[in-house]
């Protein structure tokens, strides 16, 4: 007998509602949930393959524990005992920093990943914290921290109302959007065009997104900061700056004008290889549009000037009066975020409060650059990492110079991985703790609701029950936290109780909270939910901006009310939030922060540097996701291939043939890669996808190993960083290409 059930898709940031068909103990089909308040039936090929991905026979079903050098299946109790026996001696013998924590991308897609790693980090007190953010969006956090005083206050383009969308280094038609949660991004772009709006795409490749654009500027990779500065200069020079209604909350515009003086369009044009007239034209169009939103992603962050570029994107939005207004860029208000409170100066955002041991990299947002993970393990001396906790992370493939990290991980005293696969990274673990597949996990988007183009809230419970004796991922995290504290065997529910007590204690002490002065124990007694995680969700919803405040607003949101709305609750379009959202010391938007001004000198020097002949950039494929979806037959093959794309002119010049092999040489090493000749990349640029290279021994991803591809990050030695954020440069890397006979 088959039945249908609802499940929010965890496979990318679009968070589509799925309606899945369940036959027995398997998901056999997935369709878009037409009644979902946000995604309204949209689905992509990955969501449609939810059942295959969920039932991948290579997913681990039992924990693995290393005994006599070999990973073998074990019971859950044995596995957690091994975690405690491995971690405690390192914690007791060395400083807290001897444990390195590595958090990968899927943590932002799971309930466990949102709720437990912060508790683990405060229990471990290590400064050796590395996440996928420093091969991704950290520059945007730093930019937001400096501008708005809050690294998590990332404004998103108001897609459904804007009149002119400028997309820089993003390809939402394949990625389905990032730092901009918008189910059916393609449909929303088409709707923009239909209502007479304009789309400009700045990208060295003519992507599927660029093909929808009114104008595509095929910029030279790595030069966006120059182009954007030139646009800023045009706005000042031509008197087009108009701060709009938020003007009184924006400080230090004059200093930005001064910085921009060095970047006239005519000077940057030959470096960006975008005509000066078009740079002026785009600045004028932005100023003239009724509303406009400039939006950037991976091609704007994982570059040498990622933080400057991220900052310039918001500066352009601010100078044209488009920040915090409908149709511009706006701050979402998530149901589990902090309730708005009266504006007041904040504590601001600090960078570099400590530094990494070996290279002295400054911390950003309490993280160290993930490219420094290998050297923190393999460089002897006081404070060296001796044990690692990796959760949903595959840095051996996702971070520059995986070979060095591979060797470093193998040398650890102890490593535990929370991961469903035995892959390039988890194969080094002494204990692998596999979470159940998504069909057996609850889903709530703690991270992405705060980045969504519409305020809404949705929750789905597991579609299928857990197999006997198998913990869900929340319980795995909670038990891991207990093991780190030497409390293996204690009730994992204690972790949730402790978090709830602490949070309620804070809330009752806060004069702005609806529960001010009440008893925490009375409040925790009111929480509902079947699991500790659900009780925490109930608490966050009730204390959040739309919450019932534990009875203060009887109409307000609770977990029970959310469960009554299986397709979600629409909370309306985004609304203005300045000045309440600001946490800078001045209480205003700090348009020209000191660290940024210092970076501009470095940018200026690139105007005279001799350009490299050939630059390497990345690309994503619709049916893929970073390193872990090459094991699903439905998502591989066709155009989803690990090739190097080369423009026909370059191919002719270099003697390359379509389908032939090329040898690529970068700072970090060499690879042989099949050539794909295409004029979708501009001349002087070649493109390779990441997440490939599944041919290492000791892994258990059979389908992926049959067509392993090569690891593009091996071309990169990791020495190039966006210095302010510690983010690895993954795009615009100099590269040499020669034919392999």
Please report, as ranges, the residues that interact with Mo ion according to CB under 5 A: 136
Q: Which does 169 bind (CB under 5 to 8 A by kind): Mo ion, ligand SF4, ligand MGD, none?
A: ligand MGD
Q: Which does 713 bind (CB under 5 to 8 A by kind): ligand MGD, Mo ion, ligand SF4, none?
A: ligand MGD
- CB nearer to ligand SF4: give 111 or 662: 111
| Among candidate residues 72, 696, 656, the one with its CA nearest the CA of residue 425 | 696
- DSSP annotation of 126: -
- CB nearer to ligand SF4: give 109 or 720: 109
Q: Which does 389 bind (CB under 5 to 8 A by kind): ligand SF4, Mo ion, ligand MGD, none?
A: none
CB of 472 to ligand MGD, least distance (A): 10
CB of 16 to ligand SF4, least distance (A): 3
Residues 6+ apart with CB under 8 A from 141: 133, 151, 152, 154, 364, 365, 725
Q: Helix 224-237 crosses helix 253-260 at what angle (to 10 degrees)?
A: 110
Q: Which residue is nearest to ligand SF4 (CB)?
A: 47
Instruction: Find the farthest-apart pair of alpha carbons in the chain and give their distance in angstroms, rounded.
Output: 77
Site for ligand MGD, rule CB under 6 A: 12, 104-106, 110, 132, 135-136, 168-172, 174-176, 178, 202-205, 207, 219, 221-222, 224, 297-299, 303, 391-395, 398, 418-421, 423, 435, 473, 617-622, 624-628, 690-691, 712-713, 730-732
| Among candidate residues 216, 364, 315, 306, the one with its CA nearest the CA of residue 732 | 306
- CB nearer to Mo ion: give 136 or 314: 136
- CB nearer to ligand MGD: give 106 or 183: 106
CB of 104 to Mo ion, least distance (A): 9
Q: Which does 16 bind (CB under 5 to 8 A by kind): Mo ion, ligand MGD, ligand SF4, none?
A: ligand SF4
Q: How far apart are CA 213 and CA 74, in angstroms?
A: 54
- CB nearer to ligand MGD: give 558 or 631: 631
- In the block, tokens 């602490």 appear at 502
CB of 230 to Mo ion, least distance (A): 28
- In the block, tokens 């019932």 appear at 548
Q: Which does 15 bind (CB under 5 to 8 A by kind): ligand MGD, Mo ion, ligand SF4, none?
A: ligand SF4
Q: Which does 584 bind (CB under 5 to 8 A by kind): ligand MGD, Mo ion, ligand SF4, none?
A: none
- CB nearer to ligand SF4: give 15 or 223: 15
- CB nearer to Mo ion: give 136 or 599: 136
CB of 167 to Mo ion, least distance (A): 17
Beta strands in 245-383, from DSSP E residues, in sequence order: 250-251, 293-296, 329-330
- In the block, tokens 């740079």 appear at 279
Please return the burial class of 201, using the count of CB atoms within 10 Å of its CB with bins 0-12, 13-18 and 19+.
buried
Site for ligand SF4, rule CB under 6 A: 9, 11-12, 14-16, 43-44, 46-47, 176, 183
- CB nearer to ligand MGD: give 418 or 600: 418
| Among candidate residues 481, 571, 434, the one with its CA nearest the CA of residue 83 | 481
CB of 711 to ligand MGD, least distance (A): 9
User: Do residues 632 and 699 lie in contact, with contact meaning Cβ atoms separated by under 8 Å?
Assistant: no
Q: Which does 265 bind (CB under 5 to 8 A by kind): ligand SF4, ligand MGD, Mo ion, none?
A: none
- CB nearer to ligand SF4: give 365 or 619: 619
What SS3 string covers 133-177? HHHCCHHHHHHHHHHHCCCCCCCEECCCCCCEEEEECCCHHHHCC
B/e letters for 53-64, b = 16+ CB within 10 Å, e = fewer, are bbebebbbebbb
For residue 32, the surrounding DSSP H or E stretch is strand 26-32
Tokens (6 digits) for 448 = 């992405």
Q: Which does 207 bind (CB under 5 to 8 A by kind): ligand MGD, Mo ion, ligand SF4, none?
A: ligand MGD
- CB nearer to ligand MGD: give 213 or 391: 391
Q: Which residue is nearest to Mo ion (CB)?
A: 136
CA 440 remoteness from chain centre = 24
Q: How far apart are CA 42 and CA 58, in angstroms?
A: 28
Q: What are phi and psi of 53, to 5 degrees?
A: -65, -40
Q: Which residue is nearest to ligand MGD (CB)?
A: 299
Report cis status (omega within 30 of 0) of the bond before 612: no
User: Do residues 451 and 53 lie in contact, with contact meaning Cβ atoms separated by under 8 Å?
Assistant: no
- CB nearer to ligand MGD: give 392 or 523: 392
CB of 647 to ligand SF4, least distance (A): 30
Q: Which does 14 bind (CB under 5 to 8 A by kind): Mo ion, ligand SF4, ligand MGD, none?
A: ligand SF4
Helix (H, G, I), strand (E, B) or coil at 641: coil
Q: Which does 51 bind (CB under 5 to 8 A by kind): ligand SF4, Mo ion, ligand MGD, none?
A: none
- CB nearer to Mo ion: give 315 or 396: 396
CB of 448 to Mo ion, least distance (A): 12
Q: How far apart are CA 83 and CA 542, in angstroms?
A: 35
CB of 416 to Mo ion, least distance (A): 23
Q: Which does 71 bind (CB under 5 to 8 A by kind): ligand SF4, Mo ion, ligand MGD, none?
A: none
Q: How far apart are CA 693 and CA 700, in angstroms?
A: 13
Q: Are strands 64-67 and 431-433 parallel, antiparallel or unpaired?
A: antiparallel
């Amino acid at each position: 007998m088959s039945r249908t059930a609802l499940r929010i898709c965890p496979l990318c940031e679009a968070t589509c509602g799925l309606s899945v068909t369940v036959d027995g103990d398997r998901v056999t089909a997935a369709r878009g949930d037409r009644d979902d308040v946000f995604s309204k039936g949209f689905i992509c090929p990955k969501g449609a393959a939810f059942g295959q991905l969920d039932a991948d026979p290579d997913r681990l079903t039992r924990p693995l524990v290393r005994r006599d050098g070999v990973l073998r299946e074990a019971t859950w109790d044995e596995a957690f005992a091994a975690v405690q026996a491995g971690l405690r001696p390192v914690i007791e013998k060395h400083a807290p920093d001897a444990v390195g924590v590595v958090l990968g991308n899927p943590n932002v897609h799971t309930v466990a990943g949102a709720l437990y790693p912060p508790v683990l980090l405060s229990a471990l007190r290590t400064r050796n914290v590395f996440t996928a953010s420093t091969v991704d969006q950290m520059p945007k956090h730093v930019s937001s921290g400096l501008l708005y005083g809050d690294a998590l206050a990332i404004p998103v383009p108001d897609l459904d109302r804007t009149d002119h969308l400028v997309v820089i280094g993003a390809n939402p038609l394949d990625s389905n959007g990032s730092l901009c949660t918008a189910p059916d991004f393609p449909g929303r772009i088409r709707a923009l065009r239909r209502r007479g709006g304009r789309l400009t795409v700045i990208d060295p490749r003519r992507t599927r997104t660029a093909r929808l654009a009114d104008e595509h500027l095929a910029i030279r990779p790595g030069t966006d900061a120059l182009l954007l500065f030139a646009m800023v200069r045009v706005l000042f020079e031509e008197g087009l700056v108009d701060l709009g209604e938020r003007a009184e909350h924006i400080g230090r515009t004059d200093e930005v004008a001064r910085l921009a003086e060095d970047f006239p369009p005519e000077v940057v044009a030959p470096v960006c290889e975008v005509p000066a007239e078009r740079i002026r034209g785009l600045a004028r169009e932005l100023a003239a549009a009724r509303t406009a939103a400039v939006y950037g992603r991976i091609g704007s962050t994982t570059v040498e000037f990622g933080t400057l570029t991220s900052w310039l994107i918001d500066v352009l939005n601010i100078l044209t009066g488009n920040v915090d207004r409908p149709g511009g860029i706006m701050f979402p208000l998530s149901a589990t975020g902090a309730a708005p409170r009266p504006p007041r100066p904040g504590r601001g955002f600090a960078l570099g409060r400590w530094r990494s041991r070996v290279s002295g990299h400054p911390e950003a947002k309490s993280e160290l650059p993930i490219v420094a993970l290998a050297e923190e393990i393999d460089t002897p001396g006081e404070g060296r990492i001796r044990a690692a906790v990796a959760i949903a992370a595959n840095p051996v493939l996702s971070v520059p110079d995986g070979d060095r990290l591979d060797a470093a991980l193998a040398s650890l005293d102890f490593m535990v991985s929370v991961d469903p696969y035995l892959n390039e990274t988890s194969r080094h673990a002494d204990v692998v703790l596999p979470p159940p597949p998504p069909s057996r996990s609850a889903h709530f988007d703690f991270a992405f609701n705060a980045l969504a183009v519409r305020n809404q809230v949705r929750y789905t419970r597991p579609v299928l029950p857990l197999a006997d004796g198998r913990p869900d991922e929340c319980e795995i995290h909670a038990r891991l936290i207990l093991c780190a504290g030497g409390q293996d065997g204690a009730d994992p529910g204690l972790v949730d109780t402790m978090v709830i007590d602490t949070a309620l204690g804070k809330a009752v002490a806060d004069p702005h909270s609806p529960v001010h002065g009440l008893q925490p124990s009375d409040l925790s007694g009111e929480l509902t939910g079947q699991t500790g995680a659900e009780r925490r969700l109930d608490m966050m919803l009730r204390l959040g901006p739309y919450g019932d405040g534990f009875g203060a607003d009887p109409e307000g949101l609770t977990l029970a009310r959310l469960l009554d709305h299986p397709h979600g609750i629409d909370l309306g379009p985004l609304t203005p939030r300045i000045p309440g959202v600001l946490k800078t010391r001045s209480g205003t938007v700090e348009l020209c922060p000191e660290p940024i001004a210092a970076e501009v000198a470095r940018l200026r020097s690139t105007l005279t540097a001799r350009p490299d002949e050939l630059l390497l950039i990345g690309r994503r494929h619709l049916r893929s996701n970073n390193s872990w979806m090459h094991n699903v037959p439905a998502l591989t093959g066709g155009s989803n291939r690990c090739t190097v794309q080369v423009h026909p002119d370059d191919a002719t010049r270099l003697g390359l043939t379509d389908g032939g092999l090329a040898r690529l040489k970068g700072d970090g090493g060499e690879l042989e890669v099949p050539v794909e000749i295409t004029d979708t990349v501009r001349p002087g640029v070649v493109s390779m996808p990441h997440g490939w290279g599944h041919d290492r021994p000791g892994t258990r991803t059979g389908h992926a190993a049959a067509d392993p591809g090569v690891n593009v990050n091996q071309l990169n030695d990791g020495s190039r960083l966006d210095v302010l954020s510690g983010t690895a440069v993954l795009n615009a890397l100099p590269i040499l290409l020669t034919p392999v006979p």
